[in-house]
Amino acid sequence: MKKNSYGSIGILRYLCILVTIAIGMIAIIASSSGGGGDGGNGDDGDDGGSAVAVWNVVGSQVSPATAESEDPTMLVINGSPAVGYREASFESNLNIWDGDTWGTSVADPTNGNMNYTGYHAPSYCSNGTMIYLAYSYAGVSGGTTDEFYDRVFARNWSGGGIWSTPINNGEEISVKNTIEPGANAYEPAVACDPSGNFWTAWVENDVGGAVDDDHLWVAQVTQANSTRSNPLSRNNIVGDYGTDVRSVEVATNSSGTVYVALWETHHQDQDRTDLYVSRYSSGVFTPLGGAISDDYDVNNLSKPSMAFIGSDLYIAYTQANDTDYTKHVYVQKYDGGTWSQVGSGPISAYSDSDHYDSGHPDLISVGNNLYLAWDETDQYDGPFIYVARLTTPGNTWEIIGDKVNVDQGRDALDPSLAYESTEPALYVAFEENVAGWHQIFVKRMSLSP
């Protein structure tokens, strides 16, 4: 029988090796992954809440397994995480975390009649104690003039198994189509301002306008009524092609000022779409400079995302180039006078040679920190979910942890971020492929005070 050769010194050496391996594994887990573009390794230790790079799954699958679920929005209401999303293409779902499970969805107020369009539907926001929902209600063939067209409605929810009576006194928020020819209203985006006001922006044809194009509209909505803007088109120039607005976003800063972003097709280049931002105040749109970006894949646009730190406005978006149409995520900052790129280039988890496509950026601010989530595909696999934080000083994006997917071998996309201040923690909701259908999952990362 062979004698055990571990003496006291050998045992100590063996223990030291184990400790070294354990420390190395912890360092790997806590470090950032990737590093193409403006991603890279990072430490998460500056002000505004530093990130401990561990993502933990919150419960199990949020959505029921009976159909495909998509387009999640991460929310917080009364200190609890919640997720709004689309199920089976035409249903609006909302699940609230009860501390143990995601429970069952609040009853769908559209009764499965939500109009599904290509960029993001439906849209939700929370003011902390109330969740708001805006959706495009699909028109009915053979109905009255206004019922024939897709129309934008809104609801609110503060508890219980059903949504409240529709806000705006139950009337459509979009331009009421009571005369022919009418128009469809779709792609609603929403924002909850600090004073509790609810805003929604959407896309609709300007039926009475001189040019027959789809425009952006925005409205402040209360329980009893709504105040609607005039139509907005930034490429409203006579040209060879129509200048339809494709996708919109709306956001409010800490003082309640409203900003809208829109992708709009170009009047001279039918393959190009331009990204603009405008401020809306007292019924007037004020352009914030010219086009921020252009995109050459109009059928695969990502909805832009806006956030604020103090008086500075940040916007995240994807840009598809005009050569091979691959997409990257960028962030720009508006400081009251000019737009400037945040970081040294596109934000990517992969090197230039490995990167293929990025999509669906979602941007939020936590104190003086910016967090960005997106999905990205390499040359062979994906998409996968990543989250990065903007470091200051340095103006660089540092990827937190590794892929956020529950199963890193499955594709996942369309992330949405929310911050819960009492824990404090960052939450991310996303859709992940399970047995051929995308389903909704949530992960949580603690932030130090």
Check: CB of residue 376 under 8 Å from CB of residue 352.
no
State the number of CA atoms in the 13 A half-sphere of 379 facing the CB. Answer: 5
CA atoms of 167 and 202, how far apart (whole Å): 16
Mean pLDDT of 121-125: 94
DSSP conformational letter for 333: E
Does 29 score more than 70 pLDDT? no
**3-state DSSP call for residue 144?**
coil
Mean pLDDT of 417-435: 97
And the tokens for 209? 């306008």
Confidence label for 22 from pLDDT (cuts 50, 70 and 90): very low
Per-residue pLDDT, 89: 94
β-bridge partners, 364: 371
Mean pLDDT of 171-197: 86
Q: 45-54, 58-67, 157-166, 259-268 — which is least confidently predicted? A: 45-54
* Residue among 216, 337, 253 nearest 288 (CA): 337
Write the burial class of residue 53 (CB in 10 Å: 0-12 exposed, 13-18 middle, 19+ buried): buried
CA atoms of 193 and 81, how far apart (whole Å): 19
Check: CB of residue 385 under 8 Å from CB of residue 406.
no
* Residue among 43, 22, 23 nearest 32 (CA): 43
Does 129 score more than 70 pLDDT? yes
Confidence label for 179 from pLDDT (cuts 50, 70 and 90): low
Per-residue pLDDT, 170: 93
CA atoms of 44 and 390, how far apart (whole Å): 9
**3-state DSSP call for residue 57?**
strand
Q: What are phi and psi of 338, to 5 degrees?
A: -140, 160
Per-residue pLDDT, 35: 42
CA atoms of 403 and 388, how far apart (whole Å): 11
Largest Cα separation within the chain, whole Å, is 97
CA atoms of 14 and 18, how far apart (whole Å): 6
Does 44 score more than 50 pLDDT? no
Per-residue pLDDT, 180: 67
CA atoms of 162 and 66, how far apart (whole Å): 21
The domains of the chain, with CATH numbers, are 36-446 (2.120.10.10)
Tens of pLDDT, residue by residue over 346-375, are: 999 999 999 999 999 999 999 999 999 999
CA atoms of 198 and 133, how far apart (whole Å): 10
* Residue percentage of the chain with pLDDT more than 90: 72
The residue to which tokens 């995109």 are assigned: 295
CA atoms of 363 and 214, how far apart (whole Å): 26
Tens of pLDDT, residue by residue over 401-423, are: 999 999 999 999 999 999 999 99
CA atoms of 61 and 439, how far apart (whole Å): 7
Confidence label for 166 from pLDDT (cuts 50, 70 and 90): confident
Does 48 score more than 70 pLDDT? no
Per-residue pLDDT, 195: 86
Per-residue pLDDT, 146: 76
Per-residue pLDDT, 176: 75
Give start and end residues of each alpha helix (H) in 85-239: 145-148
Q: 86-95, 112-121, 365-374 — which is least confidently predicted? A: 112-121
Check: CB of residue 439 under 8 Å from CB of residue 93.
no
Tens of pLDDT, residue by residue over 275-298, are: 999 999 999 999 999 999 999 998
Check: CB of residue 205 under 8 Å from CB of residue 191.
no
Check: CB of residue 119 under 8 Å from CB of residue 151.
no
Higher pLDDT, 308 or 391: 308
Check: CB of residue 367 under 8 Å from CB of residue 47.
yes
CA atoms of 87 and 68, how far apart (whole Å): 6
Q: Looking at the chain, how many residues does it have? A: 449
Q: What are phi and psi of 160, to 5 degrees?
A: 90, -175
